Chain A
């Protein structure tokens, strides 16, 4: 098989301007952000118009489209001002909006013509006729329900022309997205309007109850009933997704750190490029998966892609301690002559620590800190203050925006 020219887009989450820039530097083809309104991650540090403009200008240099998630399910009044919002972001240069509410879709199409609409996974699109419906409505892309299998995607691809986006990495709803209101009923927080209290990850009793109200608990082995899903990772199956004809590979996590976003984006970029460059000789490198484990927050699985998830894709039993690494800093500058790196601290580190540098293009360098100086060149033992600037000698060429992490002490 020769080189694959039509590569699927690697789509990364960008909760803030810094995350947007990081994602793009680390290889994202496109990013998605939240606007001030209409977004489902109200706590994800949504963008102001000024920040959006700056993000779009930055992304433009890399030819990276910026999408806005406006995926809330509106109640009366919630959609007020949506037309103006869509026109404003269209004029700023947003490449598409991700929407699930048909009322918002209609407002966008009629009041902000020229702004492409993607159907959010919240709408649970799981068959080709649903994609055809939305295609005829004028949408450009559908983010499939996470319940769709790889075989179903292949079939959907053959029966539709609309672009297909799928989730490849990150946390998952255990329900059909959009069809869970546990949070609404249990804690008066509307999951479909950005308030999800993650009730599915709570612990429950499971019991049989007769008409007299007598309960007989079915819990065993001190294991509570829980619906918590492991996170998704399709890193080992990129060839399957490319061959199925998927247009966009989406990484979840507008709330995640720059450490997470840079690491995950970096790995997916690497795997997609390696496979598409030479599909015939592609072999999976364990290092790619190992890299993801450095920032993983839960166990990982493949969701519905290869069949209905069993108990192995739920978080039962004793949990492993993850993540295994701590993000400790970002390179601000590197002087090739003196080999001095200037670093902005993000977590406490110091002399004697074994650290790892990584950068875009999947570069890595491991070293042990022997000497450390403060900004003025005074030797120091530790860098304890958030965002403090320190210097160290590194005999490996670093670049600004390379990052540093260290392994957590395993107890």
Chain B
């Protein structure tokens, strides 16, 4: 069965997502998780976890940051808390956290999520042997590559079906540095609406923001694999992840609904071109038009990439 994973903006939205039929809520707090729509308190994480479990649904907490000593020192109580409240899994991108789980004898299933670094079946199997119960696929994989990976792995491989793709993570405050150099006060700017464009391609719009992990830059368009969900379904490439980082929380609920409809139609053998077109139109009414959508590397030819 295809599972749907969705990010969470608020406790109230978590409730809506559960009622819609989201299988796993993905959330976290800002010190250990990367690029999240909201940073939840421990109390809220506990509350949402309880709520999910009452609905027979799951919670996955983001612990996928690149950790420095300081984070490693603070993370043990956080992990102990997550174990205590029985979250279903955490994402981990730093092998230091895997080492710590073992050392501290913490029993929390982990999903390996090192963003750009998960690109082959052999890598996934490496992490599976070290206890990973799942992995998050890099966005830079083509359909053919995804299919080849899917055939050779034994753990679920999450694929982003909707949302932004981070294509650059710097520890440096690149925006602040620019504002300092040009002596600007950025305090009036809305950090969710900043973009850069290539000088040679002025139509491009790569979202950019800064937080305590540094600077994050995102792909020109957000990912939308709705037109290809049947291929994902057949090739058993799932769970499907939706990331609402750059959309309003109510809008995101509608977008998630579109994908849940698609999933249900596929499972009931009701998928058709007509339904695909209908759902695509629905998605477009909700997706922020200025951001753009495409299939990313999914539709590219692996041989075209040098």
Which of B170, B180, B219 interacts with A185 by CB under 8 Å? B219
Indicate if A392 sits at the interface (CB-CB under 8 A).
no
**Docked-complex contact A181 and B120, CB < 8 angstroms:** no
Chain B contacts for A182, CB-based, 8 A: 167-168, 217
A179 contacts chain B at the CB level, 8 A cutoff: yes
Q: Which residues of A contact B219 (CB under 8 A)?
A: 185
Known: A123-B117, A204-B199, A211-B288; 11 extra A-B contacts, CB below 8 A, are A102-B126, A126-B66, A130-B96, A132-B99, A147-B66, A179-B116, A190-B140, A195-B306, A205-B202, A207-B197, A314-B172
- Asked if A284 lies at the interface with its beta carbon under 8 angstroms from chain B, I say no
Can you report 23 A-B residue pairs in the complex whose CB atoms are below 8 A from each other?
A74-B123, A75-B119, A76-B145, A101-B123, A106-B126, A107-B122, A123-B117, A125-B96, A130-B94, A131-B96, A132-B99, A133-B99, A147-B171, A178-B116, A181-B139, A192-B116, A192-B119, A207-B194, A212-B290, A227-B174, A308-B172, A308-B173, A311-B177
Of the listed stretches A61-69, A213-221, A236-244, A339-347, name the one at the interface; the rest are far from the partner chain: A213-221
Name which residue of chain B comes closest to A227, CB basis.
B174
Assign chain B's interface to a size class: 35 or more
Judge whether B99 and A126 touch: CB under 8 Å: no
Nearest B residue (CB) for A131: B96
A223 located at the interface, meaning its Cβ lies under 8 Å from any Cβ of chain B in the complex: yes
Contact A178 B117 (CB under 8 A): yes
Interface membership of A148, Cβ < 8 A: yes
Tell me the complex Cα distance, A202–B103, Å: 44
Please tell me if the beta carbons of A202 and B198 are within 8 angstroms of each other in the complex: yes
Contact digits for B197-235, partner A, Cβ 8 Å, 1 yes 0 no: 111001001001000001001011000000000000000
The 3 closest A-B pairs by CB, nearest first: A129-B96, A103-B122, A130-B96
Tell me the residues in window 143-169 of chain A with beta carbons closer than 8 Å to chain B beta carbons: 145, 147-148, 152, 155-156
Contact B69 A310 (CB under 8 A): no
A residues in contact with B300, CB < 8 Å = 188
B60 within 8 A of A: no
Interface: A73 (CB within 8 A)? yes
In the complex, the chain A residue whose C-beta lies closest to that of B115 is A179
B306, A188: Cβ atoms under 8 Å? yes
B283 at the interface (CB under 8 A from A): no
A206 to B189, CA, bound (A): 12
**Closest chain A residue to B219 by CB distance?**
A185
Q: Which residues of A contact B168 (CB under 8 A)?
A: 175, 179-182, 200, 227
Q: Which residues does chain B contribute within 8 Å of A311, judged by CB atoms?
A: 177-178, 180-181
